[in-house]
């Protein structure tokens, strides 16, 4: 999901968000024909909306159902009650609040650190000319084709070894998991940011340097502020990617209290599928709300191909 | 602006800002570097303490590089690249290389460790109780997940402590009850209830009496009394053979096992490189070949069908809705992309509930109580994962198609219309080719993403259903979930084979991506 989102963001062609300039149809269409034309469009839109939304409506309804089983959830909104939410947050058998906190913490730290590492690398690639620059960029693209998901066996074995030396970086450690995610911080993010950094004119750096700014000052005080939109995009994509990760998190984290939402909720729902449904639904709704909000907010940037830059060269 | 200010202002400003910024910046850098050095040195010491020479060497080199780079006035690009590169090296490059290495080994259950560990385990397992050995009362202690035996010793006030990895040795500060040592500071003494809960671990625990395996092991069967066992196997280091009590000689068979001439192998074995045999076994091993190629074909079908169907749906929706006669396009679009915004791991689980054959919404409400085995019968399960994945993927296609359509110059359509083309003709001959030019890279990257879309398979069906419980692969397994099954799924973990298949996936995806990058000329844009 995020991989494609990143691709969307990095590729310039789909420049949408121009609601103000839609394709004009031929001007000789009369009002009646327009209404007919529009009505079949609305019909298709309605079908698409039902297909798109019914699972989401279903899960919201199930989370509010007082009986909380899968069968009872089929009567949509037959009864409304917050019991599942109370159970979700109070029953110690499933430490939902911990999972939620863990996911937010791991996702947040990973996102911030990813942005920092990626931005540093992008600054180096876009502002300096050094030996191996082109090779370095190419290598990053190649490495990114080997997703970490594919290497979870090796990651598991690496963390098993690390556990003997540095328990804090080994298996069943959240810091260890964050470190693994940061291994993927360069790669696609650097390439994405590199394009954006390069659109900030060098003349800005040069004038700052004439005023006596060091390269670090140019980076932290000037460039980072000018590329803020791309930093936000990378941070949010990284956050969503981390939140969605199941494989690596399930391989690395084994103690229930340390697990993330994806792993914890999956194991919870696997235990007693039908009976736990209402509580799971409540957990799913609570987990989805922040992500959906972030996503709808971010949509503008993804679709507009990141044209919202501060300075365009 | 006067001449005076022009000549005076710049030096003053530079002196001020430069001095304060320099001092503050340098202090910050110094503190950070001190912290990094302290952590790094601690790491080196910790690694040396457990004799992990490779980790120690890597850390020492990394630390040296960091210090040289950040204290030097030159190498400015390196200052910005090193932090990310270090993570990349350990958690991406090393992990890839290790996957490559493990693909050529027999790593897995029965071949987990090195040869010495295998010898120790064989000698420890094939043991019998010494007939004249006295029993000694034992206390079982635990620390950091490792179990220890605490036994009385001949020395007054001292006790013997040992674990599976550390032979028995004297300890001073044990807590005694009568003559029996019962506890040791820093260790937890297990109570009867806990001993019962860990019965099998305790029963399998063999604590060496000394560094020499010939001295035998201490074991307990009941968690109360310990007995001395000696190995019935004898290891001959010069000939590198193991001799059993009945005189059978087992020698290193070159494949990570001791085996007799009759071919009987002693377990466990150890990890050795086995050349290409993991790769060739995909072809030659009949029980693997069928499942592997079935999974391979399904993986391609799944990824291609997902992309094609999702793109067709998304593009149709974009064409239908992106029209001036449709009011509320913005709201419609926001609602339509909700499935894409909904976290993917949750979507799969929600659909698992919807498709549940007994209680699910689809069967109960839409099909009026029918008993359709959406996730339990092979072909329906394939259909289900496809539909669910399309549900998750088409809003993205809708988004990018809308963008591409809107960025298309309207003159093109007008020109085609003037030339007498109908809307079908306009679509097939003008719009679609142009759209494909701009969207092809996205479609290809979406393909490679779905090729490895572990979540949408595993969280929905776990790769199942299995037609027979002994099958190696389930009906909906794609390569990446098949790898998971091999590595973590059953009783027989085959890391080596799993890594070999991971490598194959990489080759396939990299080949397709390389093709796409060439097509989209990303490489040319880079300068």
| CATH number of the structural domain spanning residue A104 | 1.10.3720.10
pLDDT digits (tens, 9 = 90+) for A292-302: 888 777 776 65
Question: What DSSP assignment string belongs to A179-243?
Answer: HHHHTTSSTHHHHHHHHHHHTS-HHHHHHHHHTT--HHHIIIIIIHHHTHHHHHHHHHHHHHHHH
Is B488 in contact with A248 (CB distance < 8 Å)? Answer: no
Contact A19 B342 (CB under 8 A): no
What fold does the segment set B283-525 form as a domain?
A: MetI-like fold (1.10.3720)
Residue A48 is nearest to which of B21, B317, B360, comparing CB atoms? B317
Residue B208 phi/psi, 5° resolution?
A: -65, 140
Check pLDDT > 90 for residue B298.
yes
How would you class B131 by CB atoms within 10 Å of its CB: exposed for 0-12, middle for 13-18, buried for 19 or more?
exposed
Say if residues A236 and A111 touch (Cβ distance below 8 Å): yes
Minimal Cβ distance to A150: which of B52, B455, B506 = B506
Whether residue A15 is predicted with pLDDT greater than 50 in this model: the reply is: no
CB B151 within 8 A of CB B138: yes
Helices (H), B50-137: 53-71, 76-88, 94-102, 115-125
Of B391, B392, B407, the CB nearest to A13: B407
Task: Tally Cβ neighbours within 10 Å of residue B182.
Answer: 15
Nearest residue to B457 via CA among B481, B474, B473: B481
In a domain, A143, yes or no: yes
A146: nearest CA partner in chain B: B506
User: For chain A, what is the radius of gyration of the CA atoms?
Assistant: 24
Record the tokens describing residue B172, joined without a space.
Answer: 């001073």
Rounded to an integer, what distance in angstroms lies between the CA atom of residue A66 and that of residue A85?
A: 10
Bigger pLDDT: A187 vs A49 = A49
pLDDT of residue B315: 92
Name the region of B279 (left: φ>0; alpha: ψ -120 to 50; beta: rest).
alpha
pLDDT digit string, tens, across residues A172-208 = 899 999 999 998 888 777 878 888 888 889 898 899 9
Question: What ipTM describes this predicted complex?
Answer: 0.81
The verdict on a CB contact (< 8 Å) between A141 and B360 is: no
Q: B240 in the Ramachandran plot: left (φ > 0), alpha (ψ -120 to 50) or beta? A: left
Instruction: Show the domain range for A111.
Output: 93-303
Q: For B90, which DSSP code?
A: I
Angle at B397 (CA atoms; ends B395, B403), nearest 5 degrees: 105
Query: How far from B34 is each of B20, B31, B38, B56, CA to CA, in Å?
Result: 21, 5, 6, 19
Higher pLDDT, B239 or A9: B239
Do B87 and A214 lie within an 8 Å CB cutoff? no
Instruction: Let me know how many helices (H) and strands (E) chain B has, helices first.
Output: 21, 17
Q: What is the mean pLDDT of chain B?
A: 83
Mutate which of B79, B338, B343, B507 to disrupt the A interface (most A C-beta within 10 Å)?
B343
Residue A310 located in a structural domain = no
In sign, the C-alpha dihedral spanning A122, A127, A130, A133 is positive
**A121 pLDDT exceeds 90?**
yes
Q: Given pLDDT bands bounded at 50, 70 and 90, which one contains residue A18?
A: very low
pLDDT band at B201 (very low <50, low <70, confident <90, very high): confident
Residues of chain B positioned with their CB less than 8 A from the CB of A273: 352-353, 356
Least confident of A113-117, A123-127, A254-258, B307-311: A254-258
Closest CA to B356 of A138, A21, A74, A240: A74
Direct distance between the N- and C-terminal alpha carbons of chain A, in angstroms, rounded to an integer: 31
- Which of chain B's residues have a Cβ under 8 Å away from the Cβ of A117? 83-84, 87
Entry pTM: 0.78
Residue pointed to by tokens 């590492």: A117
Joined together, the tokens standing for residue B17 give 């800002």
pLDDT at A301: 67
| Percent with pLDDT over 90 in chain B | 17
* CA B517/CA B440 separation, integer angstroms: 10
B348 close to A60: Cβ distance less than 8 angstroms: no
* pLDDT surpassing 50 at residue B428: yes
- pLDDT for res B520: 64
Nearest to B141, CA basis, from B110, B106, B187: B187
The secondary structure element, H or E, covering residue B30 is: helix B3-49
pLDDT of residue B134: 64
Q: In the prediction, which pLDDT does B379 show?
A: 92
Q: Mean pLDDT: which of A21-25, A70-74, A138-142 is highest?
A: A138-142
CA distance linking residue B369 with residue A124, whole number of Å: 62
For residues A77 and A58, what is the distance between their CA atoms, to the nearest angstrom?
9
Tell me whether residue A19 is exposed, middle or buried, using C-beta atoms within 10 angstroms of its C-beta: 0 to 12, 13 to 18, 19 or more: exposed
Whole-number pLDDT of residue A249: 93
Element (H, E) at B142: strand B139-143
The span from the CA of A113 to the CA of B25, in Å, is 20
In B178-334, DSSP assigns E strands to: 180-183, 188-189, 207-208, 217-220, 225-231, 234-236, 241-243, 249-252, 258-259, 265-266
Which uninterrupted H or E stretch holds B159? strand B159-163
Q: Which of A104-113, A296-305, B398-407 has the largest mean confidence?
A: A104-113
Stated as kind and residue range, the H or E segment containing A288 is helix A277-303
**Higher per-residue pLDDT: A32 or B89:** B89
**Residue A161: inside a domain:** yes
CA distance B383 to B368: 20
pLDDT digits (tens, 9 = 90+) for B104-128: 988 888 787 788 878 877 777 666 7
Question: What does the DSSP 8-state code read for residue B105?
Answer: B
Instruction: Give B292-312 as a DSSP string.
Output: HHHHHHHHHHHHHHHHHHHHH
| Structure-block tokens of residue B492 | 């027989």
- Report yes or no on A205 lying in a domain: yes
Q: How far is A65 from chain B (nearest CA, A)?
A: 14
DSSP string, A237-258: HHHHHHHH--HHHHHH--SGGG
- Paired with B228 in beta bridges are B218
Token pair 């169907």 is found at B309
| pLDDT above 90 (res A237) | no
Instruction: Determine the Cα–Cα distance for residues A203 and A123; give it in Å rounded to an integer.
Output: 15
Number of domains observed in the structure of chain A: 1
- Contact list in B for residue A187 (CB cut-off 8 A) is 88, 92
Given a cut of 80, whether residue B287 has pLDDT beyond it is yes
Q: Which residue has the higher pLDDT, A231 or B237?
A: A231
Tell me how far apart the alpha carbons of residues B151 and B159 are, in angstroms, rounded to a whole number. 6
Cβ neighbours of A16 in B, within 8 Å: 399, 402-404, 406-407
Instruction: Assess contact for A4 and B516: CB atoms under 8 A.
Output: no
**What local confidence, expressed as pLDDT, does residue A104 receive?**
93
Cα–Cα distance between A135 and A149 in angstroms, integer? 25
In 3D, which of A269, A174, A293 has the Cα closest to residue B346? Answer: A269
- The whole-angstrom separation of Cα B284 and Cα B297 is 18
Residue A77: DSSP 8-state: T
Q: Do B320 and A128 touch (CB under 8 A)?
A: no
Query: Which percentage of chain B shows pLDDT scores above 70?
Result: 92
Q: Assess whether pLDDT exceeds 50 at residue B256.
A: yes
Q: What is the pLDDT of residue B62?
A: 92
Name the residue with higher pLDDT: B5 or A158.
A158
Taking a C-beta distance cutoff of 8 angstroms, is the pair A70, A272 a contact?
no
Q: What is the reported pLDDT for A107?
A: 94
Q: Each residue of A132-145: pLDDT tens digit?
A: 888 888 888 778 77
Alpha carbon distance B175, B171 (integer Å) = 11
Domain positions in chain B: 25-90, 115-266, 283-525
Q: Residue A7 falls within a domain, yes or no?
A: no
**How far is the alpha carbon of B391 from chain A, nearest alpha carbon, in Å?**
7
Give pLDDT, residue B4. Answer: 42
Chain B residues with CB inside 8 Å of A4's CB? 393, 396, 442, 445-446, 449
For residue A214, being part of any structural domain is answered with yes
Q: How confident is the model at residue A20 (pLDDT cuts 50, 70, 90)?
A: very low
Whether B41 contacts A230, CB under 8 Å? no
Of chain B, the end-to-end C-alpha distance in Å amounts to: 41
Question: So what's the pLDDT on residue A307?
Answer: 34
Closest C-alpha among B233, B230, B231, B229 to residue B219: B229
Q: Which of A45, A133, A287 sits opposite B343 (nearest CB)?
A: A287
Widest Cα–Cα separation across chain B: 108
At B521, the pLDDT band (50, 70, 90 cuts) reads: low
Cβ–Cβ < 8 Å for A117, A182 = yes
Q: Which helix (H) or strand (E) element contains residue B163?
A: strand B159-163
Please report whether residue A6 resides in a domain: no
Residues B363/B369, Cβ–Cβ less than 8 Å: yes
| pLDDT band (50, 70, 90) for residue B523 | very low
- Chain B residues in contact with A219 by the CB 8 A cut-off are 80
Cβ atoms of residues A295 and B341 within 8 Å: yes
At A34 the pLDDT is: 66
Closest-CA residue to A241 (of A260, A214, A267) = A260
pLDDT at B477 (0 to 100): 92
Residues B472-505: tens digit of each pLDDT: 888 999 999 999 888 887 667 888 999 999 999 9
Question: What is the average pLDDT across A24-46?
Answer: 69
Helix or strand run (H / E) with residue B128: strand B127-129
CB B149 within 8 A of CB B218: yes
Q: What is the pLDDT of residues B48-94, one digit of tens each?
A: 888 888 889 999 999 999 988 888 887 888 889 998 999 999 898 89
Q: What percent of chain A has pLDDT over 70?
A: 83
Neighbours of A246 (CB within 10 A): 21
């Amino acid at each position: 999901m995020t991989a494609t989102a990143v691709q969307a963001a990095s590729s310039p062609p789909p420049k949408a968000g121009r609601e103000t300039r839609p394709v004009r149809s031929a001007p000789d269409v009369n009002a009646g024909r327009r209404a007919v034309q529009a009505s079949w469009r609305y019909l298709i839109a309605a079908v698409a909306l039902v297909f798109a939304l019914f699972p989401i409506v279903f899960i919201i309804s199930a989370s509010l159902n007082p009986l909380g089983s899968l069968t009872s959830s089929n009567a949509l909104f037959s009864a409304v009650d917050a019991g599942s939410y109370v159970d979700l947050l109070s029953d110690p058998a499933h430490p939902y609040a911990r999972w939620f906190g863990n996911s937010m913490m791991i996702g947040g730290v990973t996102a911030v650190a990813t942005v920092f590492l990626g931005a540093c690398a992008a600054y180096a690639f876009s502002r300096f000319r050094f030996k191996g620059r082109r090779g370095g960029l190419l290598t990053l693209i190649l490495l990114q084709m080997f997703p970490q998901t594919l290497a979870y066996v090796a990651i598991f074995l690496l963390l098993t070894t690390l556990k003997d030396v540095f328990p804090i970086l080994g298996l069943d450690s959240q810091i260890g998991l964050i470190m693994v995610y940061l291994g993927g911080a360069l790669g696609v993010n650097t390439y994405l940011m590199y394009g954006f950094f390069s659109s900030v004119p060098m003349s800005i750096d040069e004038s700052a340097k004439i005023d006596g700014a060091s390269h670090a000052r140019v980076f932290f005080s000037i460039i980072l502020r000018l590329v803020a939109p791309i930093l936000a995009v990378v941070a949010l994509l990284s956050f969503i990617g981390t939140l969605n990760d199941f494989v690596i998190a399930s391989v690395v984290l084994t103690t229930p209290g340390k697990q993330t939402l994806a792993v914890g909720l999956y194991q919870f729902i696997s235990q007693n599928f039908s009976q736990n449904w209402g509580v799971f639904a409540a957990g799913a709704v609570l987990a989805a709300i922040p992500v959906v909000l972030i996503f709808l907010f971010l949509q503008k940037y993804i679709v507009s191909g990141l044209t919202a830059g501060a300075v365009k060269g | 602006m006067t001449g005076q200010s022009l000549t005076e202002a710049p030096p003053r400003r530079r002196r001020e800002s430069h001095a304060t910024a320099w001092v503050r910046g340098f202090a910050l850098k110094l503190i950070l570097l001190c912290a990094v050095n302290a952590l790094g040195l601690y790491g080196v010491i910790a690694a040396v303490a457990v004799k992990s020479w490779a980790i120690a060497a890597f850390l020492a080199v990394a630390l040296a590089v960091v210090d040289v780079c950040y204290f030097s006035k030159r190498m400015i690009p390196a200052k910005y690249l090193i932090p990310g590169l270090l993570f990349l090296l350990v958690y991406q490059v090393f992990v890839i290389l290790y996957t490559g290495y493990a693909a050529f080994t027999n790593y897995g259950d029965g071949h987990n460790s090195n040869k010495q560990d295998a010898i120790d385990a064989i000698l420890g397992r094939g043991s019998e109780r010494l007939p004249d050995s006295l029993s000694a009362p034992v206390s079982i202690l635990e620390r950091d997940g490792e179990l220890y035996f605490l036994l009385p010793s001949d020395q007054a006030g001292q006790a013997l402590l040992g674990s599976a990895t550390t032979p028995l040795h004297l300890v001073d500060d044990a807590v005694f009850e009568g003559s029996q040592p019962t506890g040791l500071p820093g260790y937890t003494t297990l109570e009867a209830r806990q001993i019962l809960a860990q019965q099998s671990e305790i029963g399998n625990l063999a604590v060496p009496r000394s560094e020499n395996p010939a001295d035998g092991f201490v074991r307990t069967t009941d968690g109360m009394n310990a007995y001395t066992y000696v190995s019935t196997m004898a290891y001959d280091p010069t000939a590198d053979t193991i001799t059993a009590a009945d005189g059978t000689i087992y020698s290193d068979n070159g494949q990570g096992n001791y085996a007799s001439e009759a071919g009987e192998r002693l377990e466990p074995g150890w990890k050795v490189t086995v050349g290409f045999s993991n790769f060739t076994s995909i072809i030659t091993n009949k029980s693997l070949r069928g499942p592997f190629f079935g999974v391979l074909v399904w993986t391609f079908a799944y990824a291609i069908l997902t992309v094609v169907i999702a793109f067709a749906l998304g593009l149709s929706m974009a064409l239908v809705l992106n029209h001036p006669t449709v009011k509320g396009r913005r709201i419609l679009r926001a609602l339509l992309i909700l499935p894409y915004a909904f976290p993917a791991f949750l979507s799969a689980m929600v659909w698992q509930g919807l498709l549940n054959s007994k209680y699910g919404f689809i069967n109960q409400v839409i099909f009026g109580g029918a008993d359709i085995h959406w996730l339990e019968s092979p072909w329906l399960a394939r259909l289900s994962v496809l539909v669910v994945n399309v549900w998750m993927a088409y809003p993205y296609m809708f988004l990018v198609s809308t963008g591409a359509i809107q960025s298309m110059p309207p003159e093109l359509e007008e020109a085609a219309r003037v030339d007498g083309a109908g809307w079908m003709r306009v679509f097939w001959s003008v719009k679609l080719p142009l759209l494909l030019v701009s969207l092809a890279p996205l479609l290809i990257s979406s393909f490679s993403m779905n090729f490895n879309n572990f979540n949408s398979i595993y969280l929905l069906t776990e790769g199942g259903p299995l037609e027979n419980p002994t099958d190696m692969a389930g009906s909906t397994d794609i390569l990446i979930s098949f790898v998971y099954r091999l590595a973590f799924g059953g009783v027989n973990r085959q890391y080596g084979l799993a890594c070999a298949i991971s490598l194959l996936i990489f080759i396939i995806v990299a080949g397709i991506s390389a093709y796409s990058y060439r097509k989209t000329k990303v490489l040319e844009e880079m300068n």
